[in-house]
């Protein structure tokens, strides 16, 4: 017979109020690490890095999340190399959350794998479920973006601030809105423009 945690991370109905020891221990562990992490100072970079490696399921060598950061369990979150999240990030990880390399979040980004039954009577019984979220590499989520359960965002995407992402977003696109929609592809012209701007910047800085 499956445990409640196994049902939860598989996206099946589960009962968080079952009293199952494994879920309860993971929950309390995450609350302890959340408190410790969010009470660190700006002078405790090494402590923050160590706490994140203990808290999350998998991280790259260089990962930075600004406090306050909140999540359900932490163990179901995997982030790649050089991941950055700005203030007030929330990740509800009742199902796996997977994030690639060099991905950036603006302030108050929320990744919400958790969901509830549509039927009111089943919902108030306490049964819950979820769907995993996957975000690729080199993605930028603007401030206040909300990613709903079951969504995949492809590599190199830019998601405009305040977007509510309810469906998958293909790679190499700019998307925004509520509900979030693809606005346009990211083109070779974009690449040329921003490479030129970066070259001008470095030439100016090095020239000084």
Complete domains list, the chain, with CATH: 4-207 (2.160.10.10)
Q: Which of 103, 87, 111 is nearest to 156 (CA)?
A: 103
Q: Which of 186, 183, 89, 184 is nearest to 145 (CA)?
A: 89
| 18-48 per-position pLDDT tens digit | 888 999 999 999 999 999 999 999 999 999 9
* Cis before 68? omega within 30: yes
pLDDT score for 35: 98
Q: Which of 66, 98, 102 is nearest to 83 (CA)?
A: 102
- CB of 165 within 8 A of CB of 151? yes
* Beta-bridge partner residues of 173: 185
Residue 208 scores a pLDDT above 80: no
| 56-96 per-position pLDDT tens digit | 999 999 999 999 999 999 999 999 999 999 999 999 999 99
Instruction: Please report how the helices 45-55 and 21-38 are oriented relative to each other, as an axis angle in degrees rounded to 10.
Output: 170
Tokens of 99: 């994030």
The answer to whether 116 is a known catalytic residue is yes
DSSP helix/strand/coil, 26: helix
- CB of 156 within 8 A of CB of 171? yes
Residue 166 scores a pLDDT above 90: yes
Cα separation, 139 vs 99, in Å, equals 9
| Active-site residue identified among 31, 108, 116, 181 | 116
Q: Kindly state the helix (H) or strand (E) to which residue 127 belongs, with its residue range.
A: none
């Amino acid at each position: 017979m499956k445990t409640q945690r196994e049902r939860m991370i598989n996206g099946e109905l589960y009962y968080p109020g079952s009293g199952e020891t494994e879920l309860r221990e993971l929950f309390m562990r995450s609350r302890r690490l959340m408190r410790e992490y969010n009470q660190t100072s700006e002078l405790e970079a090494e402590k923050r890095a160590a706490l994140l490696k203990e808290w999350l399921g998998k991280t790259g060598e260089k990962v930075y999340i600004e406090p306050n950061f909140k999540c359900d369990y932490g163990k179901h979150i995997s982030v790649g190399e050089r991941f950055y999240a700005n203030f007030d990030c929330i990740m509800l990880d009742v199902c796996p959350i997977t994030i690639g390399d060099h991905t950036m979040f603006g302030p108050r980004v929320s990744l919400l794998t958790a969901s509830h039954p549509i039927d009111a009577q089943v919902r108030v019984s306490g049964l819950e479920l979820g769907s995993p979220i996957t975000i690729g590499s080199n993605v930028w989520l603007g401030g206040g973006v909300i990613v709903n359960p079951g969504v995949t965002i492809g590599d190199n995407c830019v998601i405009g601030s305040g977007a509510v992402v309810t469906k998958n977003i293909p790679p190499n696109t700019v998307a925004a809105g509520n509900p979030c929609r693809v606005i346009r592809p990211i083109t070779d012209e974009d690449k040329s423009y921003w490479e030129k701007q970066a070259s001008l910047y470095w030439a100016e800085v090095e020239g000084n």
